[in-house]
Amino acid sequence: MTELEFEVSADATGGRVDKCIALRLGEGYSRTFAKTLIDRGHVLVNGRGVKPRYIISSGDLIHVSVPPASENDMKPEEIPLEILYEDDWIIVINKHAGMIVHPGAGNRRGTLVNALLHHTKSLADTGNELRPGIVHRLDKDTSGVLVAAKNDKALRSLSGQFKKRAVKKTYIAIVGGRVEADNGVVDEPIARGVIDRKKMVIDHERGRPSRSIYHVLKRFKEFTVLRVELETGRTHQIRVHMRHIGHPVLGDATYGKEGGMVRQALHAEMIGFTHPETGEYVEFHSPVPDDIMEKIRSGKVVKGES
């Protein structure tokens, strides 16, 4: 445990205590890290705990205890990454199926975050030590394009665009059965399940607005290939919406059926957004992976379809 104690000078009066501590700790320590220390009781001002927004005054005595790095701290790992684009602001990855985006319970190693930490030291502080740079995610068994932020300005820009639904995202999905309509919209609210908290459900009382737009690309005897545009980004949204209309994603062990796939046949093919530095709209594409293409090639065309 590293101990730090200092008295607030007159020229620092009027600032927030979390900002003051981050500046005093020096380069490599963010305001978010200082906030975490305060929230966990590692900071005392004049012998008392305070909130991160506490406004300091000249003469305040601040005591900071910085705990040693824990075994749970994120560790860089030399894991191959398929990088589609990278600059000083963003990094765009083609995530392969089977890779978890960020650590969670029981998954501290082998994630995309571990790989990113090995690749670059520049990842935005998101306020969650397990998710540096992460502004959105893909399910473990969903492949495709994903963007991460490399600095705070990029994080604010991308997070704001996701919040305002200004990010364009399209997916390729293989779903069970024959989807009759060439185009369609599923506009059904989604909430976390009450009984099984790992599953999402359609819930008109508790659910958050969720909207998916689909277009048929190809119909086969036993399945249909769709392009799906997301207007919202709820957890498991496409998987839940497709099951709701009676056409679950193939290979989806949670909401669908095997259908000859060892993983869910869902691929994030494109993401488009305004670049946080240039202000220009950019798009990044990920080619459809071999396992999904092989499933499509194996399909039997319905008579009259081309």
Q: Does residue 79 share a domain with residue 62?
A: no
User: Which residue, 144, 164, 184, sits at the end of a domain?
Assistant: 164
pLDDT at 106: 54
Distances (CA, A) of 65 to 1, 34, 44, 186, 219: 6, 11, 9, 51, 62
Closest CA to 162 of 99, 71, 233: 233
User: Which residue, 20, 35, 66, sits at the end of a domain?
Assistant: 66
pLDDT at 29: 67
For 23, which DSSP code?
H
Q: Does residue 300 share a domain with residue 176?
A: yes
Do residues 236 and 248 make contact, with C-beta atoms less than 8 angstroms apart? no
Q: Does residue 169 share a domain with residue 138?
A: no
Q: Does residue 201 share a domain with residue 284?
A: yes
Split into its structural domains, the chain has a count of 3
User: Which residue, 118, 143, 164, sits at the end of a domain?
Assistant: 164
139 is catalytic: yes
Q: Does residue 141 share a domain with residue 159?
A: yes
Q: Which amino acid is at 71?
A: E
Do residues 133 and 235 make contact, with C-beta atoms less than 8 angstroms apart? no
Q: Does residue 131 share a domain with residue 245?
A: no
Please identify every stretch of the chain with a pLDDT value under 70, giving residue numbers as ranges.
1, 27-30, 68-73, 104-108, 301-306
Residue 261 CA to residue 173 CA, distance in Å, equals 12
pLDDT at 75: 84
pLDDT at 306: 47
pLDDT at 102: 86
pLDDT at 303: 53
Which residues span the domain enclosing 17?
2-66
CATH of the domain at 132: 3.30.2350.10
Contacts with 70 (C-beta within 8 Å, 6 or more apart), sequence order: none
Q: Does residue 36 share a domain with residue 82?
A: no
DSSP per-residue string spanning 103-167: -BTTB-SSSHHHHHHHH-S-----S-TT-TTBSS---TT-EEEEEEESSHHHHHHHHHHHHTT--
Residue 139 CA to residue 251 CA, distance in Å, equals 13
Q: Which of 18, 60, 125, 139 is catalytic?
A: 139
Q: Does residue 197 share a domain with residue 77?
A: no
